[in-house]
């Protein structure tokens, strides 16, 4: 097949990890007789530097003319002084809105090879395989009015039933292909917006009688993710709670650098690793590219409808990890596992994944 991919390296380590994701996609294309065109554009700090705004019109045009969009990271401390609406992060927020992607999928899987990389006990994290479905276009990040006055600042949390209904349906449909359990997370004992959230998710649950359903307060969910994370299958929650809980859940896997994400719902999907721009390690060759590479697998599955190729890529990642290859963020806590580790650079990790894709037993 032929596909055009909008390619937005962004800031910090973004260009480094996307370089390896692109290398992997090129190998997949070569091996499976596909043709991927990468249309590169600016976003975030680099876009402010070159164009004076975080999401230039040229970038928007490239994204809207692509079959999928791949983002590295946005964020640069030297632009933190800019007013709200002009910061690096607004490039990402505006891009999500432009593409109409209301559902953010953030899977968290603890690989058996990495159970000792997690700060939690082995018996707590072993077998964890969950996905957080975060509503992406509503809630406190987009609500109006908002602002800063002389003695106060304010933001507004707003959700409509339709917004909650559509994100809930995404979660239940996902659960049908997993372990058939959905947990809706809210703060309905305090927030009116969460009361509506809980009521609406309960109504949608009745349309999926084959899926077990429960509601949970966000503070309890935050504790349960640490105490008993294996209980979760699909977690669906609002924009802010999803942002926070998904970063917390990243520690189950051992590193934020491992985790991919997909933003779907519009005609064009957006894919990006969960980690930020990490300017403190940019250019050092130590960033973990596996979050970006796993995001490439999600792109293959969701936007290009190439599940076989996505599985091939995921298995290659698993083989690399099972053979002891690690970027510096994945060092084990136990001496037994440390003796098996082989620490590699960002580029070397990408090359290893490519090597295993090429192997016949990676299928």
Q: What pLDDT, in 10s, does the model give residues 29-59?
A: 999 999 999 999 999 999 999 999 999 999 9
- Distance CA(235)–CA(15), nearest Å, equals 31
What pLDDT, on the 0 to 100 scale, is given for residue 362? 43
In a domain, 105, yes or no: no
Work out the average pLDDT over 242-259.
Answer: 90
| 219 classed as catalytic | yes
Of residues 102, 141, 325, 356, which has the active-site annotation?
A: 141
Do 310 and 198 share a domain, yes or no?
Answer: no
- The conformation of residue 83, written as its DSSP 8-state character, comes to P
2 in active site: no
pLDDT exceeds cutoff 90 at 256: no
Active-site choice (87, 102, 187, 233): 187
> Quick check: 277 and 89 in contact, CB under 8 A?
no
Active site residue 141: yes
Q: Could you tell me which of 283, 293, 291, 280 has the C-alpha nearest to residue 257?
A: 291
Pair of tokens at residue 123? 């018996």
Residue 138 lies in a domain: yes
Which one of 253, 274, 302 terminates a domain? 253
The verdict on residue 26 lying in a domain is: yes
- For residues 72 and 12, give the distance between their C-alpha atoms in angstroms, rounded to a whole number: 9
Report the length, in residues, of the chain.
Answer: 363
Pair 193, 262 in one domain = no
pLDDT tens digit sequence for 284-315: 999 999 999 999 999 999 999 999 999 999 99
pLDDT of 332 > 70? The answer is no
Examine the domain organization and report whether 12 and 87 are in the same domain: yes
Active site residue 233: no
Q: Which distant-in-sequence residues (6+ apart) come within 8 Å of 31 by Cβ?
A: 357, 358
Same domain, 248 and 122: yes
> Among residues 219, 267, 284, 340, which one is catalytic?
219
Count the domains in the chain.
2
225 with 272, same domain: the answer is: no
Say yes or no: 144 and 224 in one domain. Answer: yes
Both 131 and 199 in one domain: the answer is yes
Q: Measured at the alpha carbon of residue 200, what is the angle toward residues 195 and 202, in degrees to the nearest 5?
A: 100
**Do 129 and 246 reside in the same domain of the chain?**
yes
| Residue 247 designated active-site | yes
Q: Which of 86, 94, 217, 247 is catalytic?
A: 247
Residue 339 has pLDDT above 70, yes or no: no
Domain final position from 196, 230, 253: 253
Residue 336: per-residue pLDDT: 54
Domain's final residue, options 204, 221, 253? 253
Tell me what the pLDDT averaged over the chain comes to.
94
Q: Tell me the percentage of the chain whose pLDDT exceeds 70.
A: 97
pLDDT at 363: 44
Place of tokens 């249309």: 39
Choosing from 79, 243, 271, 356, the catalytic residue is 243
Query: Domain with 141 in it: what CATH number?
Result: 3.40.718.10
Among candidate residues 192, 201, 186, the one with its CA nearest the CA of residue 238:
186
Which of 201-205, 221-225, 253-257, 268-272 has the weakest average pLDDT? Answer: 253-257
In the structure, what pLDDT confidence band is assigned to residue 123 with cuts at 50, 70 and 90?
confident
User: Exposed/middle/buried for 129, CB within 10 Å: 0-12, 13-18, 19+?
Assistant: middle
Q: What is the model's pLDDT at position 255?
A: 87
Q: Which residues form the domain of 296?
A: 1-100+258-363
* In a shared domain, residues 143 and 227: yes
Q: Is the pLDDT of residue 335 over 80?
A: no
pLDDT digits (tens, 9 = 90+) for 135-194: 999 999 989 999 999 999 999 999 999 999 999 999 999 999 999 999 999 999 999 999
**CA separation for the pair 201, 215 (Å, rounded):** 8
**φ, ψ for residue 55 (rounded to 5)?**
-140, 85
Distance CA 188, CA 157 (A): 13
Residue 33 burial by CB count (10 A; 0-12/13-18/19+): exposed, middle or buried? Answer: exposed
């Amino acid at each position: 097949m032929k596909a055009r991919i909008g390619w937005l390296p962004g800031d910090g380590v973004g260009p480094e990890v996307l370089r390896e994701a692109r290398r992997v996609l090129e190998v997949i294309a070569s091996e499976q007789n596909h043709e991927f065109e990468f249309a590169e554009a600016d976003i975030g700090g680099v876009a402010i530097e070159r164009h004076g705004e975080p999401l230039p019109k040229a970038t928007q045009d490239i994204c809207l003319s692509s079959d999928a969009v791949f983002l590295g990271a946005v964020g640069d401390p030297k632009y933190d002084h800019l007013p709200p609406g002009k910061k690096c992060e607004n490039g990402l927020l505006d891009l999500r809105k432009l593409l109409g992607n209301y559902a953010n999928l953030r899977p968290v899987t603890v690989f058996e090879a990495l159970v000792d990389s997690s700060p939690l006990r082995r018996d707590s994290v072993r077998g964890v395989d969950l996905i957080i479905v975060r509503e992406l276009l509503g809630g406190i990040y987009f609500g109006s009015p908002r602002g800063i006055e002389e003695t106060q600042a304010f933001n507004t949390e707003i959700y409509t039933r339709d917004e909650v209904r559509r994100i809930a349906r995404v979660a239940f449909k996902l659960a049908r292909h997993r372990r058939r359990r959905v947990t809706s997370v809210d703060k309905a004992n305090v927030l009116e917006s969460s009361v509506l959230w809980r009521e609406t998710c309960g109504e949608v649950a009745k349309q999926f009688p084959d899926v077990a359903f429960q509601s949970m307060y966000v503070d309890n969910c935050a504790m349960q993710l640490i105490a008993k994370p294996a209980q979760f299958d699909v977690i669906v929650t609002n924009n802010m709670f999803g942002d926070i809980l998904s970063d917390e859940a990243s520690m189950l896997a051992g590193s934020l650098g491992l985790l991919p994400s997909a933003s779907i719902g519009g005609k064009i999907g957006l894919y990006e690793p969960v980690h930020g721009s990490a300017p403190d390690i940019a250019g050092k060759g130590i960033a973990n590219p596996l979050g970006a590479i796993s995001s490439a697998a999600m792109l293959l599955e969701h936007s290009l409808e190439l599940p076989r190729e996505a599985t091939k890529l995921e298995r290659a990642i698993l083989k690399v990890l099972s053979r002891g290859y690690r970027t510096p963020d994945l060092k084990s806590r136990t001496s037994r596992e440390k003796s098996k580790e082989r620490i590699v650079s960002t580029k070397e990790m990408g090359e290893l994944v490519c090597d295993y894709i090429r192997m016949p037993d990676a299928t």
